[in-house]
Chains A and B, each alone.
Chain A
Amino acid sequence: MKPKFLIASLTSCSGCIGTIFALDILFDFLERIDLTYFPFLKDQTEVQDNDVALVEGCVSEESQIEILKEIRKHSKKVIALGTCAIFGGILSLSTEKQAYPISSYIEIDGFIPGCPPPSKLLGVSLIRLLENKDIELKNTNLCLNCPLRGEAEINFINPINNLMPEKTTTEEERTQCFLKNSILCLGPITREGCENKCIESGMPCEGCMGPISPNADFTSNIINFLSLIKLSKDLRKYDGIFFRFSRPKIKFKQVKA
């Protein structure tokens, strides 16, 4: 019997699903599973029993809570796919809408972080799920294997006053840590596993993989870090950093059990 999979999207850009189409293993993956629900590719609209449910996107609408509970009820494992499903994601920058992680409403059995999830991690995780194994994530920060990491330095003396380099550099020129060059990089507090894609493209880490500890609050983690470095006055007031992928969640309504 092939394991049964469901792939569903809540409020999202479909980018996590889109990244599935970048995988070498896509064809084999589709051959080895029984895909019971995936409206992107299939006409079925009823949620059936599943071994694994992959859910991308955050909860931003009341109606999504019911769908989510329905998925939970029918699935042995529910996996939050991507930063929106895990932390709320980009919608956290909104001042009109609340973006809730799916774990605010249902219990989850694992998650694959990233905006989008890095392809290698995604591919390996899908195969593990297929074989009924848990997802394995690195519990180290991005700096540990950062190509720009020189000698370890914990005092960042330079004031941080930029979000990105003012001029582009070639790979050879790129030898120094962004933080040492006064550019904000969230590498020190961000989970490793993204293949350093941003750093290798000449851009600092924006923290999309989330904190290293699964129990850490995304935003307080960032605020703690920023309180340790010399952030310029201008950046200290900039919401775009604090709430890029998450916002502290305030529940207005208590649902009785």
Chain B
Amino acid sequence: MKTTVAMCTRVEGHGDIKIFFQKNEISNINFEIEAVRGFENILLNNKLIDIPHIVSRICGLCYASQTIASCKAIENIFEIEPSNQSIQLRRLLMIGELINSHSLHFFFQAFPDLFVLLKEYKQPLSLEELIRYDPQMTGFMFELIKTGKELVNIFGGRYTHPITPIVGGMANAPSKKSIGVARKYLQKVIENTKWIIEKYQEFIANTTPPDEFNLENQIFLGIQNKGLYNNYSGMLRLKQNGEILADFSFNEYNHYIDRDRNLPGIYAHLNGEQRLLVGPLARYNVIDDYDISDLDPYLEIIDKPWQKNLLISNYLRLLEILLVSYEGLKILENSKLTNPIEIQPQTTLKNPEGIGVVEAPRGTLIHHYQANNKLVLEQVKLLVATEINIPTINDLLTKQGQKYYQETQDLDSVKRQAQMIIRTFDPCISCATH
């Protein structure tokens, strides 16, 4: 079988677009990832208390989510629950991570493509053109990216691979002064993001959502807490065409979704459609409400033609930045954040198995561990957002690529279109190659 390969650019990590031909027709287009590191193997035989800081190294963008999912899985094994203070501090750390990750993706990776997809440019903006396009926007975006990192530094102890999340809680409480700094940062994020959202609304006004990004009968997966947006606690939900297919606790995840041994990616255990989508668009769909009234004026634009369109994910990323910033400000009102932290003692193994789930910036992240009496890890399973999205990515790539190739016979354009589709999913290849 003839194949052709193109390297993915403007994504995190190293991935390829592989196009398979049968006779003169495209039979499949796959998003392929190389250099799997084998973190399941890396983690084996390590001490439970040591695991969260090792798993952080799975990803230099989703470090906080990885570390915290890991802490939660181990806390499940010990049957301990961190104090409310620790949970709030973890959420603040995840808020910093989300602001950094979403703004980085939006500006450098997604925005340049929108000129091709919505404005009939021949090429995406180059890095140089992007920086000069709207100096105020560039300034604000650089500030957002940097501020996300500053929040990670305050609550995680450094800019990447946070030190503070440990099994049972957090290793360090922030000072009163840094709480004040964090508040100022979040206020600035809100101000800047509102400006960017308004600019973006102008940008997409009078444009038509491109057909090739439409998702039909898509099944969405994400955490919701009593129907509301929540990245830390609640239940998982599967939803399709506005109907809830299942609500289930984190510990029951493998009754509903799991890795397929023979195929790349993760699938739902459902009759019929089994491909899933996680991430901002899935979160928007699984919840009933974002639960922050300040967001209401920005929701109208997500009208019918955009609702099924994957491209709206870019807008939702901006909305999520705004949302978590409001959430963060609310958490910062808690005067107990700076108190000495109570850590739950990790004494004996209560369950051999533990499951930890969070919503990482790119979607649902599941850590499933099994430990022995020596408190050492014996079995590991990690289900990460990008892996969950891969079957949906490949399906969309193939459908659109086939159609486009039939119409144009232009392979370079097929490749370029595939690049833009992949970027809209915001894949995290480091996570996927754990």
- Which residues of A line the B interface, CB within 8 A? 9-19, 21-24, 26-27, 30-31, 35, 39-45, 60-61, 63-64, 89-91, 93-97, 115-116, 118-119, 163-171, 173, 197-198, 200-203, 206, 238-240, 244
Contact = CB atoms under 8 A, between A and B. Distances in A.
B50 A30 contact: no
B37 A60 contact: yes
Interface of B: 7-14, 34-35, 37-38, 41-47, 49-50, 53-54, 57-61, 63, 100, 104, 108-109, 124, 126-127, 131, 138, 142, 145-146, 149-150, 152-153, 157-161, 163-164, 166, 169-173, 175, 340-341, 343, 345, 430
Contacts of A13: 57-60, 63, 430
A168 B142 CA distance: 35
Given A19-B159, A168-B170, A201-B171, A12 B54 contact: no
A94 B49 contact: no
- Please list the 8 inter-chain residue pairs (A to B) with the smallest Cβ-Cβ separation, ordered nearest first: A15-B60, A201-B157, A22-B149, A22-B159, A14-B60, A18-B60, A116-B160, A90-B57
Nearest to A235: B47
A170 B173 contact: yes
Contact of A94 (B37, B124, B142, B158): B37
B10 A39 contact: yes
A97 B434 CA distance: 13
B169 A42 contact: no
Contacts of A118: 158
Question: Among A15, A24, A60, A164, which residue has the most Cβ atoms of chain B within 10 A?
Answer: A15
A89 B60 CA distance: 13
B41 A163 contact: no
B13 A45 contact: no
A167 to B, nearest CB: 5
Given A42-B126, A168-B169, A238-B47, A18 B61 contact: yes
Given A14-B60, A15-B60, A244-B54, 15 more contacts: A14-B59, A15-B59, A15-B63, A16-B160, A19-B60, A26-B145, A30-B131, A42-B126, A43-B10, A64-B35, A90-B57, A116-B159, A164-B171, A168-B170, A203-B164
A240 B54 contact: yes
Question: Mostly helix, strand, loop or mixed at chain A's interface?
Answer: loop
Q: Looking at A18, A63, A93, which has the most chain B CB atoms within 10 Å of its CB?
A: A18
Contacts of A64: 35
A164 B49 contact: yes
A9 B131 contact: no
A14 B170 contact: no
B157 A200 contact: yes
B340 A15 contact: no
Contact of B46 (A45, A93, A164): A93
Contacts of A40: 10-12, 108
User: Which of B54, B138, B150, B171 counts the most chain A CB atoms within 10 A?
Assistant: B171
B7 A95 contact: no
Given A14-B59, A41-B127, A116-B60, A26 B146 contact: yes
Given A22-B159, A203-B163, A240-B47, A14 B54 contact: no
A10 B35 CA distance: 9
A165 B7 CA distance: 45
A15 B42 CA distance: 18
A14 B12 contact: yes
18 contacts: A14-B13, A21-B100, A27-B142, A39-B8, A39-B14, A40-B10, A60-B35, A90-B54, A93-B46, A94-B38, A94-B42, A95-B44, A163-B47, A164-B166, A198-B158, A201-B171, A202-B164, A239-B45
